[in-house]
Amino acid sequence: MRQTGALVLLGTLAHSSVAVSFGLPRGVGPEFAKFYESKAATFKCIGNPSIVIKSSQINDNSCDCPDGSDEPGTAACAYIDPLSPEQPLPGSATGNTNTTSALPGFWCANEGHIGSYVPFMYVNDGVCDYDLCCDGSEEFAHVGGIKCENRCKAIGKEYRRIEEERKKSKERSAESRRALLRDSANLRRQVAAKISELRGEISALEIKKVELQKKFEDVERSERGKVVKNEGQGGKLGVLLSQAKARVKELRETLDKVLDQRDDLQDRVDKLEDILTKFKEEYNPNFNDEGVKAAVKAWEDYAASNGAGKDDIADADIMKVLEEDGEGSGINWAEFTEGDSSDADIVYNLEAYLPAFVRDFVHDKLNQLRVWLVENGILADNPKTGQESLLVKAAREALDAARNDFNTKTSQLEEQEKDLEKDYGPEDIFRALKGRCISSDVGEYEYELCWIDRTMQKSKKGHGNTNMGNFVRIDREYADEEERVDGKSLGKGERMVLRYENGQGCWNGPNRRTDVWLACAEKDELWKVSESEKCVYKMEVGTPAACEDVGEPGVRSKDEL
């Protein structure tokens, strides 16, 4: 069987309304029947009606018309050139033909299947071209003893079965596409609702921030004049003791964090050393790549010197330092803080000797006086104690919480607004696919496509994963491929292409990128992966998202109204 070029006409010709009489010459197609139905003794060349020949010259295996229209059923005019027919040509201004064939080919009726044209060069060439001429009529001369049987009944039956399955598959794909559109529309509504909700919450938080800011300022102002007793003994020694205790606690917590970071870094170093060791063991020393050899030599030097001159601190010593202070370890702060009250403490207990109403009145008046003196610059404020009242602390924490909540909600709003504006393809259809992944095994790798996210190459031998690109945009390009019987090909026509760029860098090359070409299919499926050029990959993917817009069953479109 041979494939055809542009000469093959299918489908519509099989259902042509042009009647073909039984008296037509062999090889005449239904749309050219009108030129051959006349019972006159002469025939006008189709492309050159001024040239008239005898009707008996039709299909006489001699090219008499410049356009070959007198030989619809032979290969005599398969190659029309300036020397065919004989020169000079009567009625021609130049004396030669300089024309092309008026007929597309030899017509095979193919009853029981679909009629089609066969190139004239295939007529009586000793080959049965069943893919074009299933009735075998193009080999009527039985050249070389070849006899092509009529297989149109079986071929037509199989063709109709395949077409019926394609029709059903298209309907299923259309339904899957409609389901995706419904999901995408629902997700878009959820994002829009979330944006509206966040805007309302942010507006309320703005009001709350203003109220808490005012409350904090009022509390701080009212508490500014109050005397606060520091923790521990009075005087400079007590302050120094409190600061030393806080500093030791801070240093111990910092040491604990540094220890955690050291352990994490050691784990990373161990993993990198394992990778480099495996790389050294598995690389081909005969491969003439100076970069690889230099990397291996540097690793060998590093491995040879690793551990030399180290004086590590034992973990037990560090853990001992991290133990909480107390009677059995570190500093026993109780020895410095417990003891008899100092004379300064009497000041804080003086209020016990005053009646309650006098005590409250005196406190209130003294606080008001001190605040007035501080605000007017007469008395210096004393913020160096490092202490604040519980009321001020609570007001500050409430204000900070409101600010943090406001910032969090604002960030979420920005993310949701960007997501709503993002290009998710026609009718937002890829919104429903975002985050889903499909994969396919190709050789020693598994290739993975995650919609609107990234493409990955995963080694089956445990050599790690490679990022082949991150989603950037959606384009459209023209595909020109032969259609497969199973439908798993891009075919011909404009197709959506998802661009995944800025992947992991190649060795001595650019960053990897992937062009994901989409074609209509019942389900998401990765058909083929190829590397068109260095570090540039092409994925051919079937998905309902790429199917044509097919309306709901029973719903008429505008074109049908």
- DSSP string across 186-234: HHHHHHHHHHHHHHHHHHHHHHHHHHHHHHHHHHHHHHTT---PPSSSS
> In the prediction, which pLDDT does 90 show?
52
- The predicted pLDDT at position 200 comes to 94
Give pLDDT, residue 375. 60
Q: Cβ distance 30 to 18 under 8 Å?
A: yes
User: Binning pLDDT at 50, 70 and 90, where does residue 113 land?
Assistant: very high
| pLDDT, position 127 | 92
pLDDT category, 545, cuts 50, 70, 90?
very high
553 pLDDT higher than 60: no
Q: Which of 58-72, 265-279, 312-326, 456-470 has the lowest mean pLDDT?
A: 312-326
Task: Write out the two tokens for 250.
Answer: 């801070």
pLDDT score for 20: 37
Mean pLDDT of the chain: 78
Whole-angstrom Cα distance, residue 66 to residue 91? Answer: 11
Cα separation, 348 vs 525, in Å, equals 79
pLDDT band for position 287 (cuts 50, 70, 90): low
Residue 157, number of CB atoms within 10 A of its CB: 12
Structure tokens at 108: 């095979």
* Cα dihedral: 263, 265, 271, 275 (round 10): -160
Higher pLDDT, 261 or 333: 261
Looking at 116-130, 226-240, 400-414, 544-558, which range is the least confident one? 226-240
Q: What is the mean pLDDT of residues 315-333?
A: 67
Task: Dump pLDDT digits (tens) for 226-237.
Answer: 544 444 444 556
Between these two residues, 117 and 326, which has the higher pLDDT value?
117
Question: Which of 14-23, 35-44, 59-68, 544-553 is predicted with the least confidence, judged by mean pLDDT?
Answer: 14-23
Mean pLDDT of 63-73: 90
What's the pLDDT at 430? 92
pLDDT at 377: 55
Confidence of residue 499 (pLDDT cuts 50, 70, 90): very high
If one compares 56 and 389, the residue with the highest pLDDT of the two is 56
Cα–Cα distance measured from residue 133 to residue 110, given in angstroms and rounded to the nearest whole number: 6
Highest mean pLDDT among 190-194, 244-248, 262-266: 190-194
User: How many Å separate Cα 507 from the centre of its chain?
Assistant: 24
- pTM of the entire predicted model: 0.55
pLDDT interval class at 238 (50, 70, 90)? low
Cα within 13 Å of Cα(292), Cβ side:
12
- What does the pLDDT look like over 350-367, one tens digit per residue? 555 567 666 667 666 766
Least confident residue range of 221-235, 381-395, 479-493: 221-235
Q: How far apart are the two ends of the chain, measured CA to CA in Å?
A: 44
Please tell me the distance from the alpha carbon of residue 403 to that of residue 409, in angstroms, as a whole number: 10
